[in-house]
Each structure stands twice: as structure tokens, then as C-alpha cells.
Amino acid sequence: MDIARCLDTIDRLCLRPFPARHAWSDVGRAGPGYFMAELHTGEGEETHGERTADDAEACKEAVAQRLHRRWGPVPAWGMLTLRVRGLRGEEIPEPWASLSHLTDEAYVWQADGTGRWVAVAVADRDPADAIRLLAVVTDTDPP
């Protein structure tokens, strides 16, 4: 995993206009007010293998360290509360609803000078899916 490439993708998404409709972009899912980029995927690797999970976590931490230096340190934010709030009928806006179903925790920063939020997380909740390192860039405040 190339940390510089991950950071470059995040930087580009902080400047790129959001699409008007839900669609796929060159980096992953996108919709009004957000991008959800797959920075790395364990496709072709052993699904939910120990090495794949460790690699994704290590990359997430490496990207997070650089973003902590850039925008200030933040604690990991647990997604369980959002899942529970959604199950109780509360409307959780995208991309936060999807992120909460894909991940257990994320680092979340407000990107200086852009008005956008950036989240970095490992999608590993579905054992049938490849483990993915995700970056979310959105103008929707975290709920």
C-alpha cells in the first residue's frame, strides 16, 4: 500500500466537485455531497485473512498519522452508535450511514480550508467481502 498515493487521493477528493447523483467514480462510490474511495482492497488475497486485516489496519494508521499532523490528532470514532441510532429509526445521512455499516471505527477530521470532512476506516464487517481501506470525503457533518 502506497501511503503517498492514499494521501494524494484524499487531497484530490477534497477539491473535486461532488456528483449530482449517486454513481461510481474513478475511486469508488460517490453521491451528492460525498465520495467513498477504496484506497486499498484485499481482492485476490485471502478474504478476511490475518495478514490482510493487519496490512489494512497498518495502512489506516499510517495514513491517520500523517493526517493527525496535518489537521490535528483525533481519537478513533466508534460506528456502533450510528448503527444503533439507525436501527431505532433515526435518519442517518450518507455517507455516514453506509460507513457505519461497513466499519467499526473511523478517524474523522475536518479538512482545513475546504469545509469538508475526511474519514479513514477499514471496512471489515462482512466476512464474505474483501477487506478494504476506505476514505470518505463529505460536506455532511458527522451526525
CA–CA separation, 120 and 40 (whole Å): 11
Residues 6+ apart with CB under 8 A from 69: none
Whether residue 143 lies inside any domain: the answer is: no
Residues 6+ apart with CB under 8 A from 50: none
Segments of the chain assigned E as strands: 23-24, 28-31, 34-41, 77-78, 105-111, 116-123, 132-138
Look up the domain containing 122 and give its range. 3-138
Model confidence at 1: pLDDT above 70: no
User: pLDDT tens across 35-50, in order?
Assistant: 999 998 765 445 455 6
16-20, 34-38, 48-52, 64-68, range with the lowest pLDDT: 48-52
Whether residue 26 lies inside any domain: the answer is: yes
Counted domains in the chain: 1
Whether residue 97 lies inside any domain: the answer is: yes
Whether residue 99 lies inside any domain: the answer is: yes
Model confidence at 107: pLDDT above 80: yes
CB count in 10 Å sphere of residue 122: 26
